[in-house]
Amino acid sequence: MGQLVVVLVAETDRPVAYTPDDEALLSAVASVVANAVEAARAQGPDGADAVPVARDAPPAHRPEGTRVRFFAVDGSTFLDDEYLIKGVAGRILWSLVGHHQREGRTEFTNKEVRLDPSLELPDFRDNLESRLILLKRRLVERDAPLRIEKTGRGRFRLLVDGPLVLEER
């Protein structure tokens, strides 16, 4: 349903240790665990079904603009003086809002993000999709006037509600 529920990690020291059958089994296990977690979340404290809160749309914009501060040294990113995220996910957000500010862009592909050298993605196992999911989740948690939504395979959109004031330090 477009949100991160559970992360399942299986690691080994042996290269190419997992077969396609192993991957299929792990995907099935992850799906079962995620469904169980979601079912538990849907239960209110008294055992009754809780009403889900839809939070896909950005909250109403602030007329003065949202200040996005970025610290290049570690990728720390703040929205209106509140810490949001750091590292590669912070660099990704900074890159996206930069493209939005300069070019008015809202549509992006995983491939173009992956090829951006300013993000300092590792050459091997960059986990881009996981980083995007984490960033998307953090924006929702903080009620940011920015959202990321998946629009297709390897494609996503940046939703921006209101003006942004970008500051790099």
Number of domains in the chain: 2
Predicted confidence at residue 106, as pLDDT, reads 96
Of 63-77, 79-93, 114-128, minimum mean pLDDT range: 114-128
162 and 97 inside one domain: yes
Range of the structural domain that residue 118 is part of: 66-168
Q: How far apart are CA 108 and CA 151, in angstroms?
A: 9
80 and 34 inside one domain: no
45 and 74 inside one domain: no
Of 13-17, 21-25, 47-51, 69-73, minimum mean pLDDT range: 47-51
Q: How far apart are CA 20 and CA 31, in angstroms?
A: 16
Please check whether residue 58 lies inside any domain of the structure.
no
pTM greater than 0.85 (yes/no): no
Concatenating the DSSP letter of every residue in 65-76 gives -EEEEEETTTTE
Is residue 157 within 8 Å of 107, Cβ to Cβ? yes
